[in-house]
Chain A
C-alpha cells in the first residue's frame, strides 16, 4: 500500500512542471500539453483522496474531469490549427493582433 503522501507529492511535481511550462513556453502545442499535465495532477489528487477516504465519488469526478479535458483539448488544438493555417507558425508570442 503506497501511502497517500507519495501520490500527493507526484501530483504536486506534475502540477509544478505544468505551471512552469505555462509560464515559460511559447509553443502552442507545448502549452496545451502543460495544461493537460496540471489537469491530470488534479485528477490524480482526486483519485488518491477518494481511495484514501474510501469513497468512489472522487473517482467518478475524475472521469468527468478527463472527459472535460478531452473536449478542452479538442477546442484548444482546433484553435492552434487555425492559427497555424493563418500564420504558418504556432508561436503564441506572436499571436497578439487584438492587443492594442
Chain B
C-alpha cells in the first residue's frame, strides 16, 4: 500500500521543477563535477530522475486521478508576455517519454563515457539539453517555446561538436546549427506576425497575445485577419512555423545536418534522435495543431512535406555504409511519417495528433535502442562505423545484437512490436485522408507505403551486414560485449520497443488519452479555458473533419505488412543468403547509385553552389560596399574632424599670458554687457 499523502500529492502544480531540476544538474556538473570526475554524471542523471518522477506523478494525477488539465503563468515582461507551463495529455506524453528515455541514455552514458576526460562537461550539456526540451514541452506560449527551442539547438551544436578536436565533428556541429538557424529565423518571423495580428485584431482582448490558449480561443477572429502578400495570414504563419519544423525535425530540404551529426558521441545521437531534439518540431505542430487546422491549406503542405521526406530519406538509407548514418536516415524518414499524419489531421482532427504522438513515443524507444546498441557496437570494436568492416558480431556481443534486432523489428513495424501499432495506424489513416483529400492525398499515402518496403530493406541490410556472416576486418574478429550500465539500458529499452504497443492496448489507451488534448477545458490560476470545438476550427480553414471513424479496406491494412515482409525478404536474399549479387549495381558508374551516394547532390547544392558560389559572390559585393562606401563615410567623418581640429587647436597656444588675457578680456566684456543691459552696476 502506498503512502496516501503521496498519492494525493498534486504534482501538476509543481511542474516547473521539471525544468528547474535539470538546470540545477547542469550547474552542479559544471561546478562540482569538475572536481569529482570519477562520479561524473551523477548529478545530471539524478536530476533527470527527479524530473522523471514529477512527470510520471503528473501523468498519474491526470490519467488515473483524472485531475483537470492545468496551466500556470507568471507575468514576465510587457503586458501579457508570460512564462508558464501547461499540463495536458500532449505535454504529458512528451514529458514522460523524454524524461524516461533521457534518464536511460544518461544511465547508459555513465558506462559509455566512463573514460572521457571531459565527461562532466558532457553530462552538464546533456542535462541542459534535456532541461531545455522540458521547457519547450511545457511552454504555454510561443515566445517561451522559441527560447527553449533555440536552447535545444545550442545544446545540440555543443554536443555534436563535443569531440571538437576532430575537424569533422566541429564542422558537423556548425552544419547542424546553421541548417536549424535557417528554419528558426523563419519560425521567429512567424511568431512576430502572430504577435502583431493577435495584438491588432479587433475583438481580441488579448491579455496574453502569444499564449497558445489565447490564440486557440481567438481563432475565429484570427482567420479574418488581412492577408499578407495575398496569402491568408494564418497560412503564412503556419508555413513559417513549418520552416522551423523542417529545420529542427530534419524535414526535406533542411535535413542535411542529421547524417553529419553522427560525429558526436553515440549517446548524443540517441538523445537527439529519440528524445530531445528532432521531436521538438513534431511537437510544435501538435501543440499548434488548432492553428494549422484553422489555416487554409496549411495541413496539406504539412502532409505532403512529411510524406515526401519519409520516402526521400528511406531511399538514402539504402546506400549508406555508416551504421549510425543508416539509423539517422531512418529517423528522418520516421519523422516524415509523424509530420505526414499530422497533416492528415485536416480530415482526422485531433486524432491525428494522437497517432503522431504515439508513433513519436514508440519511435523514441526503438530509435534510442538502435542508437545505443550501435553505440555498444562501436564501443566493442573500437569505433569502426562502416558496416562493410563489421560482420559476425552476433557471436561476440549477443546482448547488443539481439537488442538491435528488437529495435530493427520495431522500426520496420513487425507485428506486435511498438512500431507495428503506431506506424500501420498512420498508413491506414493516411489512406482515409487520401480518400477525402484527392490526388495529393493519394500521393501522401503512396509515399508512406513505399517507405515501408525501403525501411525494412535498409534496416535489415544494416543488421545482417553488421551481425551475421564472417568478420570483414580485424577489429570485428574480437568484439567485446558492453558493461552492466549499458546492458541494463539495452534490456529496458528492448522491453519497451517490443512491448509498448501491447502495454497500451494496441495504442488505444494512448490515443484515447491524447484525443482529449484540445477538446477539454484547461484550468489556470485565474480561470478556465473552455475546450475547443475542432469542427468549427476546421471550418475556418476550409477543412471538414470526419464525424465517425472510417475503416480502410482490408487490402490497405495488409499491404504494409506484405511490403514489410517483402523488404525483409529482399534484405535476407541479398545480404544474408547471398542469393542475389548486387555488386554490379552498386558501382560508381551506375547513375542511380551515384545520385543516392551523393545524397541527391543536396549537400553539393547547399555547400558548393549556394554557400561558395552564390553567397560568396554576394559577399564579394558586400565586401566592396563595406570597404568603399561604409568605410568611406566613416573615414570621411574622421577626416573632417581631424582637419577642423588641425585648424582650431591653434587657439590653444600653451602660453599662460594668452589665457590670462582671454580671461580678463572676457570678464571685462561681461561687465560691460551687464552695465549696458542694466544701465549701471
Contacts and interface: CB of A to CB of B under 8 A. Distances in A.
Interface of A: 19, 22-26, 31, 92-93, 95-96, 98-100
A23 B664 contact: yes
Contacts of B656: 22, 26, 31, 92
Given A22-B657, A92-B656, A93-B655, A100 B649 contact: yes
Nearest to B667: A19
B659 to A, nearest CB: 9
B660 interface: yes
A96 B654 contact: yes
Contacts of A22: 656-657, 660, 664
A25 B654 contact: no
B643 interface: no
26 contacts: A19-B660, A19-B664, A22-B656, A22-B657, A22-B660, A22-B664, A23-B657, A23-B660, A23-B661, A24-B657, A25-B657, A26-B656, A26-B657, A31-B656, A92-B656, A93-B655, A95-B654, A96-B653, A96-B654, A96-B655, A98-B654, A99-B652, A99-B653, A99-B654, A100-B649, A100-B652
Contacts of A19: 660, 664
Interface in B389-427: none
A26 B653 CA distance: 14
Nearest to B650: A100
A99 B655 CA distance: 9
A90 B527 CA distance: 86
A22 B667 CA distance: 15
Contacts of B652: 99-100
Given A23-B661, A26-B657, A92-B656, 18 more contacts: A19-B660, A19-B664, A22-B656, A22-B657, A22-B664, A23-B657, A23-B660, A25-B657, A31-B656, A95-B654, A96-B653, A96-B654, A96-B655, A98-B654, A99-B652, A99-B653, A99-B654, A100-B652
Interface residues of B, number: 10
Contacts of B654: 95-96, 98-99
A31 to B, nearest CB: 7
A19 B661 CA distance: 8
Nearest to A34: B660
A24 B652 CA distance: 17
Contacts of B653: 96, 99
Mostly, the B contact residues are helix
B668 to A, nearest CB: 10
A22 B653 CA distance: 15
Nearest to B660: A22
Give the most central of B652, B654, B655: most A CB within 10 Å: B654
What 10 A-B pairs are tightest by C-beta distance, nearest first? A96-B654, A99-B654, A22-B660, A23-B661, A100-B649, A23-B657, A92-B656, A23-B660, A19-B664, A93-B655
A93 B655 CA distance: 6
A90 B655 CA distance: 13
A51 B656 CA distance: 36
Contacts of B657: 22-26
Nearest to B655: A93
Contacts of B655: 93, 96
Nearest to A93: B655
Interface in B189-244: none
A25 B656 CA distance: 9
A35 to B, nearest CB: 9
A18 to B, nearest CB: 10
Contacts of A100: 649, 652
A25 B661 CA distance: 12
B641 to A, nearest CB: 15
Give the most central of B649, B655, B657: most A CB within 10 Å: B657
Interface string B638-674: 0000000000010011111100110010000000000
B463 to A, nearest CB: 82
Give the most central of A23, A24, A95, A100: most B CB within 10 Å: A23
A38 B146 CA distance: 73
Contacts of A24: 657
Nearest to A35: B660
A31 B661 CA distance: 13
A61 B567 CA distance: 109
A49 B664 CA distance: 23
A93 B649 CA distance: 17
Contacts of A23: 657, 660-661, 664
Nearest to A99: B654
A22 B659 CA distance: 9
Nearest to A24: B657
Contacts of B660: 19, 22-23
Contacts of A92: 656
Nearest to A19: B664
A19 B659 CA distance: 12
A15 to B, nearest CB: 10
A96 to B, nearest CB: 3
B485 to A, nearest CB: 72
Give the most central of B655, B656, B664: most A CB within 10 Å: B656
Contacts of B661: 23
Contacts of A26: 656-657
Nearest to B662: A23
Contacts of B649: 100
A19 B656 CA distance: 12
Give the most central of B652, B655, B660, B661: most A CB within 10 Å: B660
A95 B654 CA distance: 8
Interface string B438-481: 00000000000000000000000000000000000000000000
A95 B655 CA distance: 8
Nearest to A97: B654
Contacts of A25: 657
A23 B655 CA distance: 10
B439 to A, nearest CB: 82
A6 B649 CA distance: 44
A66 to B, nearest CB: 22
Contacts of A99: 652-654
Interface string B255-269: 000000000000000
A24 B664 CA distance: 13
A20 to B, nearest CB: 10
A99 B653 CA distance: 7
Contacts of B664: 19, 22-23
A54 B655 CA distance: 43
A93 B656 CA distance: 7
A70 to B, nearest CB: 21
A95 B656 CA distance: 9
B645 to A, nearest CB: 9
A97 B649 CA distance: 14
Contacts of A93: 655
Nearest to B649: A100
A19 B668 CA distance: 12
Contacts of A96: 653-655
